[in-house]
Amino acid sequence: MTTTIATHDGTFHLDELIAIAALEYIHAPITIVRTRDPRAIAAADIAVDVGGGAFDHHQPGGNGIRPNGIPYASAGLVWQAYGVTICGDPEIARRVDERFIQSVDAADAGIDLLGPPAHPSGVRPITLQTVITWCNPVNGAPEDYDRAFFEALPMARAILGRAIETARQSVEADRVIADAIARWDAGGRPPIMVFDRWAPGCVQAAAGTSALYALFPDIRNGWRVQAVPETPTSRTSRLLLPEAWRGMQANELAEVSGVHDAVFCHQAGFIAGARSFYGALRMALAAVEQPEPLLMQWPDMFERAWMLSGWNVCVDDGVRVVRLRLDGIWFTFREEIRNDHRGSYLRFVPEDTQPTERDDPTFLQPMRVRGVVDLDPDHEIVRFEYQGIAVVEIGTNWEDEDHPQVVIRFDAETLNR
């Protein structure tokens, strides 16, 4: 069923465009009627920025003011009603209002958030409200304003969508950072902090601790080790990577650093990379001149529950196939019944197959793995050699199949060879 939304005709502004874009998340499909006719407004399912109702702010005294003094315009009124439903998370909705919707409402209320020009030339920044003003015709016919309104609406949809996604990423980043700091604190506050994923501001957040280096997966491939700045806003690192590494790449860097999968070290010495987590970790350890056996003093890095970044379980001819994505790499294991002198038991056999897009749209090509893969009597344990670096055990916890966890253990002798 189509929802009819009435808004005023003539010159349009950013607030009603954003308000209608937000309502589409809840009431699509919609029909928009641009009018000031009271009968047409009353006949509509929802009225926005007109008619004196719940989503209008032109009535005497307005329609509410936030605690910080920013009054509600139509965008804020709609967001107040539906923001949490649209975002599915109160904190995401709050950040969208704080970082975007409030500026839209303020501009519509004539509040100048920019203050006096910061440059002697008097040049002012271009705002979204200005761009929407440009979209309006000058002395046009009514149909010209309507046409321009519907041309501008897709832009408002896209802007709101990006505001929501940016807020969502911001909330997730804060959670990633908080988890990393909690693990670092529980692990004895070592000089290296590990982030399961890169998050905007993660290295700056590490500057609020005593850590010297931050490790995180690169968004393309491999892992990075980055020197932590002296303060969150500083451009000076607490401890740069060794001078002998700077500007080197690949084999040359592997030889001088002793890390066989080292990829690069920036010539300024603030960041370097390796193909694996273990390589990046060994580079950081070498930089802080810590012996590698010290690794085992940080159990949070070597034995902990990881929430899977991707997983898929299917049944093929009655056999369960488990696919796990760790470090951005898919591992596939097939359950088999085996019989030997110990009796019947299960084991998972690593496969070279990968999930298809039908199984999981985020699939990646898996790494080949070698070694015996058995099932412990009490826990599913996967043992194999990964990139020739370490023998790894993965124990999966399937008690909650919607949120499976993985415990990873690294063999110290193999890791340090």
More confident residue, 221 or 94: 94
Listed range (161-175, 374-388, 390-404) with the worst mean pLDDT? 374-388
Mean local confidence (pLDDT), 23-27? 95
Q: What's residue 318's pLDDT?
A: 53
Interacting residues of 367 by C-beta distance below 8 A, sequence separation 6+: 329, 331, 386, 387
- Over residues 313-370, the pLDDT tens digits come to 445 555 555 555 544 445 555 544 444 443 333 333 334 444 443 344 333 333 333 3
The gap from C-alpha 101 to its chain's centroid, in whole angstroms, comes to 21
Q: Quote the CA–CA distance of 311 and 92 in Å, as a whole number.
A: 26
Whether this prediction's pTM lies above 0.85 is answered by no
Q: Quote the CA–CA distance of 391 and 393 in Å, as a whole number.
A: 7
Amino acid identity, position 18: I
Listed range (1-5, 258-262, 396-400) with the worst mean pLDDT? 396-400
Residue 381: is its pLDDT beyond 90?
Answer: no
Alpha-helical segments (H) within 109-141: 128-135
Within 10 Å of residue 180's Cβ, how many Cβ atoms? 25
Where are the chain's structural domains? 3-166, 187-298, 304-415
